[in-house]
């Protein structure tokens, strides 16, 4: 069956769509910004309106989870390529940020997996810490209790790398289990996967050596503080499990941060967290240059 196409009707409809669309300031701005000819605009009015809708979604978006576009993290966008109008899906700023973070995490994970005590740069400001690390390694016994470390100081001084190097050495020597968990990511992942909370908490409660990395950097909620972090720390304290922390905050600053949530200020519950941290650890401050300003992998050491 042949269907007769009335080109005049099609052109008439395109003209009507264009005349209606041109009343839209966002549509006009997009056509002008991309330098789209009137003919191309008439021929692609509906696609351009789709782009306008997605761009407006982006204006009111604050993260990937709130993305209202067809493909999360991408916007339908017109481009002039070699004189021709083309439509492609380009990543938004949050998608680009997520990809950068993913790449940085893979790089960081690879560096931490291969960290060794011999690779730690010896500097004057690290003398107390390196002495502590060496003594801990020399005296570690998987069948005896030992205090972990609350290592705090300014950003990028290599805190995580140094603890990771100790963990790797002890893992290779004794065959123990170790885990380095980035606290903000832990809470974010558990919030998105409630069915995994029990298994994850149980694992973190019982791993031989645990590092809670960058504690205090997370958005504090009663649930995260009391039900997740508090539960893990209470069990590890009861079972005398070595627990390590890194933070940009000293213990007093951490207590203040932990006391404030969106809903309330609870000094008592924050103090309980700090009491557990203090019971589980020795406290050492590490100040120095931000090695992350460098571009090679040495910057984490």
> 102-300, what's its fold?
Rossmann fold (3.40.50)
Q: How many CB atoms lie within 10 A of CB 254?
A: 21
The helix-helix angle for 267-280 and 251-259 (nearest 10°) equals 150
Q: Tens of pLDDT along 13-54?
A: 888 888 888 899 999 999 999 999 999 998 999 999 999 999
Largest Cα–Cα separation, the chain? 88
Q: How many CB atoms lie within 10 A of CB 243?
A: 24
Average pLDDT on 233-241 reads: 96
Backbone phi and psi for residue 255, each to the nearest 5 degrees, phi listed first: -60, -40
Helix (H, G, I), strand (E, B) or coil at 146: coil
Measured CA to CA, the distance from residue 39 to residue 32 in angstroms comes to 13
Which regions of the chain carry the CATH code 3.40.50.300? 102-300
Please tell me whether the overall predicted TM-score, pTM, comes out greater than 0.75 for this model.
Answer: no
Q: pLDDT tens digits, residue range 106-154?
A: 777 788 999 999 999 989 899 999 999 999 999 999 999 999 999 999 8
**230, β-bridge pairs:** none
pLDDT digit string (tens) for 52-110?
999 999 998 988 878 999 999 999 999 999 999 999 999 999 898 888 877 777 777 78
Strand duo 209-213 + 74-81: pairing:
unpaired
Alpha carbon distance, N-terminus to C-terminus of the chain: 73
- Angstrom CA distances, 238 to 81, 96, 157, 234, 255, stand at 65, 43, 32, 6, 21
User: What does the DSSP assignment read for 169-195?
Assistant: HHHHHH---EEEEEHHHHHHHHHH-GG
Q: Which two tokens stand for residue 225?
A: 């503080």
Give the side-chain half-sphere CA count within 13 A for 72. 7
Percent of all residues in the chain with a pLDDT value above 90, rounded to a whole number: 69
């Amino acid at each position: 069956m042949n269907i007769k196409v009335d080109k005049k009707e099609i052109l008439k409809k395109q003209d009507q769509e264009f005349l209606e669309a041109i009343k839209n300031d966002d549509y006009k701005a997009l056509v002008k910004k991309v330098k789209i000819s009137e003919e191309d605009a008439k021929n692609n009015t509906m696609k351009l309106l789709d782009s306008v809708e997605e761009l407006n979604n982006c204006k009111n978006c604050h993260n990937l989870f709130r993305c209202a576009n067809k493909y999360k993290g991408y916007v339908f966008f017109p481009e002039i390529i070699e004189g021709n109008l083309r439509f492609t899906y380009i990543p938004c700023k949050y998608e680009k940020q997520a990809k950068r973070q993913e790449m940085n995490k893979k790089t960081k994970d690879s560096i931490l997996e291969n960290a060794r005590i011999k690779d730690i740069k010896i500097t004057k400001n690290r003398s107390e810490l390196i002495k502590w690390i060496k003594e801990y390694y020399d005296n570690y016994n998987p069948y005896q209790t030992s205090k972990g470390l609350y290592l705090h100081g300014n950003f990028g001084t290599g805190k995580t790398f140094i603890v990771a190097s100790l963990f790797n050495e002890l893992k290779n020597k004794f065959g123990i289990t170790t885990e380095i968990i980035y606290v903000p990511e832990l809470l974010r992942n558990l919030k998105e996967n409630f069915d995994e909370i029990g298994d994850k908490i149980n694992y973190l409660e019982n791993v031989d050596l645990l590092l809670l990395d960058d504690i205090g950097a997370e958005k504090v909620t009663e649930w995260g503080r009391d039900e997740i972090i508090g539960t893990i720390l209470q069990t590890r304290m009861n079972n005398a499990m070595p627990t390590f922390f890194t933070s940009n905050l000293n213990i007093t600053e951490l207590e203040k941060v932990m006391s404030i949530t969106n809903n309330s200020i609870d000094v008592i519950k924050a103090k309980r967290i700090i009491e557990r941290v203090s019971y589980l650890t020795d406290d050492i401050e590490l100040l120095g240059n931000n090695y992350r300003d460098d571009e090679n992998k040495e910057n984490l050491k």
